[in-house]
Amino acid sequence: MGRETALGMALKSAVETMSKKKQTEMIAEYIYGKYDVFKRFKPLSVGIENDLIQALGQFSPELIKRVLANHCRRPKYIKSVARGGKRFNLDNRFQGEVSEEERLHALEQPGIREAIEKQDARRAEAQAKKQAQADAESAEQ
């Protein structure tokens, strides 16, 4: 039996009877539930594909790659890369940085620059509102 548990083998067998689409959805749900770095759409470390394949031996490498590709095409993920900064591994630990070239490439994707500008404007507005409220409260005292 090696490293695979009976439960792992049963899961693998059950998964293989599903359509590729259903398998991909199930694997994605599992990954988003298990790894905070995916749930929070942080920039992923280079080579994380191999880490995922190794960590999720019960799933097909082909389907893990498909889930990863789908994740990396999501606007929320592209925005996080466009903002630049640190990359993270499966343990949510810093592992590399987004290069300037990668950041600029992400910014070139349709709608990303505008989405970031809108998000920044909303954040600034919320911060200004919060500051005005704090100022009003301190003036009352």
Please tell me the predicted confidence (pLDDT) of residue 139.
Answer: 83
Please tell me the predicted confidence (pLDDT) of residue 42.
Answer: 97
Phi, psi of 131 (to 5 degrees): -65, -40
From residue 123, how far is each of 8, 32, 77 by CA, in Å? 44, 26, 18
Please tell me the predicted confidence (pLDDT) of residue 3.
Answer: 57
Contact 79, 115 (CB under 8 A): yes
Instruction: List CB contacts of 107: < 8 A, sequence separation 6 or more.
Output: 82, 113, 116
DSSP 39-63: HTTPPBPTTHHHHHHHHTTTS-HHH
Please tell me the predicted confidence (pLDDT) of residue 115.
Answer: 86
Query: What number does CATH give the domain 1-108?
Result: 1.10.1710.10
Cα separation of the two ends of the chain: 71
**pLDDT by 10-residue block (mean), the chain, 141 residues:** 64 75 92 96 97 93 96 95 96 96 92 88 91 86 73
5's tokens: 């548990």
Return the H-helix or E-strand segment holding 105. Answer: helix 100-107
Question: Domain boundaries in the chain?
Answer: 1-108, 110-140
How far apart, in whole angstroms, are the C-alpha atoms of residue 89 and residue 47?
9
